[in-house]
Amino acid sequence: MPRIIKGTIVSDKMQKTVVVEVLRLKKHSKYKKYFKVSQNFKAHNPENQYHIGDKVLMQETKPMSKDKRWIIIGKVE
């Protein structure tokens, strides 16, 4: 079962590829406080229909290039 995660597009300057930032909350082991951690993923955008600021769902897939292992499956409103 492939993973599906939600993120925001932060760059669409490449052809058929976007950079998606995924935010998650992590708990500090000593102080038990939650803090934000962000991670960037390159995702396949076949028809260049998604742009900066769009919130999207992406699904894990087989590697398409050195860095690209995700494909965009839809937009979240």
How much is the pLDDT for 13? Answer: 97
Confidence class for position 77, pLDDT limits 50, 70, 90: confident
Nearest to 5 by CA among 36, 32, 40: 40
How much is the pLDDT for 3? Answer: 97
Tell me the C-alpha distance between 56 and 7, whole Å: 6
Please state the domain count of the chain.
1
Domain at 40, CATH number: 2.40.50.140
Mean pLDDT of 59-71: 97
CA–CA–CA angle 54, 56, 60 (5° rounding): 145
Residue range 18-44, pLDDT digits in tens: 999 999 999 999 999 999 999 999 999
DSSP 34-75: EEEEEEEEEEE-TT----TT-EEEEEE-S-SSSSEEEEEEEE
Q: What is the mean pLDDT of the chain?
A: 97
Give me the domain span that covers residue 17: 4-75
HSE-up of residue 17 (Cα within 13 Å, Cβ side): 14
